[in-house]
Amino acid sequence: MVQDVAEAAGARLTPQADSLIRAAQRGDQDAFEQLVRAYDQSVLRHAMNLLRSPEEARDVYQEVFLKVFRNLHTFRFDCSFHTWLYRIVTNVCLDHLRKRGVRKEEPAVVETGEGPVDRMENFEEGSAVANPERKLWNRQLQERIEESLQELTPRERMVFELRHYDGLRLKNIGEILGTTEDAAKNCLFRATQKMRSALGDFV
């Protein structure tokens, strides 16, 4: 039921999703907790996709739902709740990316006494074990992608990841970033050109 509400609210508010949000706005703690349960994995995964750091994504997760709790009364039902929530997540992630400045992100792969460990594997759902050759190629590609993403501006990176990692349409990305669809499209074009140039023989 909770998942149904999340999926419905992500597209168009149904009476069920509408009533749950309105109940939370009136101070119904149980309704708010249902909203959190409905969207917690989506928020966490979205933050992880944008920040590529499990620790930072969890910090963002807590910050986002605190903002939702404090600002839910401002939601006016003139857009989908999903778009409203993603706007909050995206803005918080943008703040974190800007605060990083020139600091390099924590690598997805770290060396330990037992060999290299992919921290992403401890966060994301497990996948079938690939053959060693394919696994090595995937790791090299992932490292190159991480390096390339760091060369994008925070806004270019945000648009690129919202489109390619979250699968959002440009119109939705524009709404989330408070800009037009054309502006989001132009930003995506610049980001894509930079990524293609940086990835070189991988693409």
What percentage of residues in the chain have a pLDDT greater than 70?
74
Domain covering 128-203: architecture: Orthogonal Bundle (1.10)
Domain residue limits, the chain:
1-101, 128-203
pTM (two decimals): 0.62
Phi, psi of 128 (to 5 degrees): -60, 140
* Single-letter residue type at 28: D
AA identity, residue 139:
R
CATH of 1-101, one of 1.10.1740.10, 1.10.3720.10, 3.40.50.970, 3.90.79.10: 1.10.1740.10
Which of 1-5, 16-20, 77-81, 194-198 is predicted least confidently? 1-5
Q: How far apart are CA 144 and CA 169, in angstroms?
A: 25
Neighbours of 153 (CB within 10 A): 14
Helices 15-25 and 29-51, axial angle in degrees (round to 10): 100
pLDDT at 177: 87
